[in-house]
Structure 1
Amino acid sequence: MKLTIKDRNYQLEFINETLKELDLTYIHPLLASTTKYAISTGGKRLRPLISILCTEMIGGDYLETRNMFLALELIHNATLVHDDIIDEDLYRRGEPSLFSEHGIKKAVLTGDALLSMGLMHASKTGKPEVVGWLAETSLKMVQGITVQNQYKRRL
C-alpha cells in the first residue's frame, strides 16, 4: 500500500497534536513553561516521522508509535537546548533560544527535564532495550560534542 502526501500530512498533524497535548502536569510549573517552549518552536519532526515510517514498513500501526516518537523528539529537543548553550546560539528555528530567553541555569534544567521525559516515554514502549539504546546513544552524542568543543577551541 502506497501512502499519499495526504496520509503523511495527517501523520505530521498527529505528531504535532501529540506534542501540543503532552501532559506536563507532573512537571514543576517553573519547568513546564520552558519545556513547552522548547518543544513548541517547530522543526521538521523527522525523528517521529521516521519512527512512524519504520513501523509501517513492518506492518505496524503508526498510532502505536506515540511513546517511541515522543522519546526521540523529547531527547532531540533536550540536545538542542544544551547545544544552544554550548554554542552560545541566541536563536533556534527563528525564535530566541531557550537560554537567551530564560537564562542558562533554567535552560540546562529544562534540557535535563526533556531528557528525563524522553527516557520515561521510552520506558513506556515496553521494550527495555529501547531505553538502553537511547541512553547509550545519548552518551555517545555527549562525548562527540565534548570532543568537537575541544577541537573548536584549538582552531
Structure 2
Amino acid sequence: MSKALIERRLRELKEYIDETLERIDLTSLHPLMEAPVRYMLRTGGKRLRPLICLLSAELVGGERERAVKPFLALELIHNGTLIHDDIIDEDETRRGRPSVHITYGVKRGILAGDILLSLGLHHASETGDPRIVEWLSETASKMVQGVALQTHYRRRILSEEEYLEIAYLKSGSLFEASAALGA
C-alpha cells in the first residue's frame, strides 16, 4: 500500500472520528458544563486512540460500528485527563488554543474533565460488554496514578525505570486499551 493511500485512509478515518465526536449528545448537560466539554472536544488533535481502535477492529475483520462506542469512550477519557493535566501542569494552551481552565476557570475545568471521564465510562457501558467497562476503569486508574507519580517526582531527575513506568501509566495504558478494545 502506498504512502498516499495510507494517508488518505487515515484522513478519512480521522474525519469519521471528528464527525462522530461532534454528534455526541451533550443535551443532558447543564449549559454551564456543556460549553467547556464541547470546547475541549472541538480542539482537535491527532485522534490516535480512536484511530488505533478502528484500525484494530479492521485488522481482525470486525465491523466499524462495533468499535464506535469503545473509541468514543477512549477519546472522552483521554480528553478529560488532558484537562486535568493542563490544570496540574499549569499549561495555558492546548493544541494552539487557550486551555479549558484558562477559558472557563479552574473549577469548571476540573468538573468538565470529570464529566468527560464519566461520559467515557457511559459510552463503554453502552457496549453491553462489562469487560470493556472494566478495562477502561482500570486504564483510567493507571492514568491517574501516572500523573500522581509524575507530580511526585517533578523536582528530580527520573531513573529510566521510573520514566518508563510513568510513560506507560499516563499514556501507554490508554494506547494498549485502544488496540485491545478495537480487536
Whether TM exceeds 0.5 here: the answer is: yes
Counterpart in 2 of 1:7?
9
Residue 151 of structure 2 corresponds to which residue in structure 1? Answer: 149
| 1:126 aligned counterpart, secondary structure | coil
Structure 1 runs (4+) deviating above 4 angstroms are 1-4
Aligned mates of 2:128, 2:53 — CA distance in 1? 16
* Cα offset, 1:145, TM superposition: 1.0
Match of 1:71 in 2: 73
Q: Partners in 2 of 1:145 and 1:10 — Cα distance?
A: 33
- Structure-to-structure mapping, 1:134-145, within 5 angstroms: 134-145=136-147
Unpaired runs of at least 5, structure 2: 158-183
Please give the alpha-carbon distance, in whole angstroms, between the structure 2 residues aligned to 1:54 and 1:112.
28
Q: Report the CA distance between 1:21 and its aligned residue.
A: 1.4
Structure 1 counterpart of 2:137, which letter?
Answer: A
Distance in 1, matches of 2:7 and 2:152, equals 43
Q: Deviations over 1:115-149 (max 9, x none)?
A: 00000000111210111111111111111211210
Equivalent positions of 1:5-154 (< 5 A) are: 5-153=7-155
Q: CA deviation at 1:154?
A: 5.1
CA distance in 1, matches of 2:37, 2:138: 23
SS of 1:49 mapped into structure 2: helix
- SS for the counterpart of 2:154 is helix
- Identity percentage of aligned residues: 53
Distance 1:154 1:35 in 2: 34
Label 1:113 to 1:27 Cα distance change in 2 as closer, same or farther (>3 A).
same
- Residue 64 of structure 1 aligns with an amino acid whose one-letter code is R
Q: Residue type matched to 1:142 in 2?
A: V
How many positions carry a matched residue from both structures? 155
Q: Tell me the SS of whatever aligns to 1:115.
A: helix
Residues 4 and 144 of structure 1: is their aligned pair in 2 closer, same or farther, counting only changes over 3 Å? closer
Give deviations 1:62-120, integer Å, cap 9, x for gaps.
23311110000000000000000000000001100001111110000000000000000
Decide which moves more: 100-109 or 7-16: 7-16
1: distance between equivalents of 2:58 and 2:156? 46
SS in structure 2 of the partner of residue 152 of structure 1:
coil
The answer for unaligned runs of 5 or more in structure 1 is none
Higher RCO structure (Cα 8 Å, ≥6 apart): 2
